[in-house]
Amino acid sequence: MANLNSSYRDSSLQIPSNSGSSAGVCMMNTKWRDEQHPSLINFIASFLSANSFRLNFVPIAPDCIFNCGGLSVAFIFVTNWDCENCEPIFCRVRKLKGQFANLYVVVSLPTKEQNDSFVHSYFKYGMELGKPTFVPVQDLEMGFEKIVNIAHSRGTCKRQDVLSKLKAERKQSVQGMGNFLRVVTSILGIDNHDANSLNQAIGSIETIAKASKEYILENTDLSADKAETLTKFFRDPKFYLSPKIN
């Protein structure tokens, strides 16, 4: 096993450390944990803690599941590639890829013999490129650092996607409010203040059109004349079809 302290110092992972918040949660399979060397588990615990991840041990199907930015990413972490008996690994991959939309398989292949065996077996058992993604690594510490990198990157992309959608929705909302103001202020005698008051107290143009004069007076600061103008505009064809002179 590579030196843990050296691997830890050389990690390329850049996650802002903030003692007041968590970068995410790592749920680790208790059975997988018990099969590993204690030094690897100690490294994992220290690495996650230093990068503001919480670690929980639970009975789950994958070896670990990360939740970052509202996205769950599952991992199979093969720490001991058996060149003579790799079929169970691919059977497990086929089973889990149908259960988890975001699944990665990280495989530690420290020797040329193991790497050659993996490449041969990958095609022998009919794996499709990227379905799921396999990540070969040279040592265990590098493998787990890759896992955290992938989980963090996917979570960051998810957050950015959510923020982009929120910005788009806000833009649509602003545009919708602009259209609302243009329509309502086109009614003779109704100004921006009146339109904003109607929007906040009553709502959409459709709702305003159905509101009675009394309801408008009760819920806004519009005058009786303006409330009557609104009800006539939406309900009296003689009023809204007649020419308006400003």
Q: Tell me the pLDDT tens digit for each residue of 206-236.
A: 888 888 999 999 899 999 999 888 888 887 7
The residues that bridge with 27 in the sheet, in sequence order, are 56, 65
Q: In whole angstroms, what separates CA 240 from the centre of its chain?
A: 48
Q: Where are the alpha helices (DSSP H) in 125-211?
A: 140-184, 192-201, 205-210
Query: How confident is the model over 193-199, as a mean pLDDT?
Result: 88
Amino acid at 140: L
Which single residue is written with the structure tokens 């265990």?
140
Going from the C-alpha of 13 to that of each of 22, 44, 99, 147, the distances in angstroms are: 15, 14, 28, 11
How is the beta sheet containing 53-58 ordered, strand by strand?
A: 53-58, 24-29, 64-68, 71-78, 103-108, 133-137
Task: Give the count of beta carbons closer than 10 Å to the beta carbon of residue 150.
Answer: 19
> What does the alpha-carbon distance between residue 150 and residue 71 come to, in Å, rounded to a whole number?
12
Which pTM does this prediction carry?
0.60
Q: Tell me the pLDDT tens digit for each residue of 77-93.
A: 999 999 999 999 999 99
The residue with greater pLDDT, 174 or 62, is 62
The residue with greater pLDDT, 181 or 17, is 181
> What does the alpha-carbon distance between residue 217 and residue 229 come to, in Å, rounded to a whole number?
12
Contacts of 239 (CB under 8 A, 6+ apart): 232, 233
Q: Tell me the pLDDT tens digit for each residue of 42-76.
A: 999 999 999 889 999 999 999 999 998 788 999 99
Long-range contacts of 110-113 (CB under 8 A, 24+ apart): 110/138, 110/139, 113/83
Q: Tell me the pLDDT tens digit for each residue of 140-158.
A: 999 999 999 899 888 877 7
| Range in 19-28, 34-43, 161-170 the model is least confident about | 161-170
Q: What is the pLDDT of residue 163?
A: 61
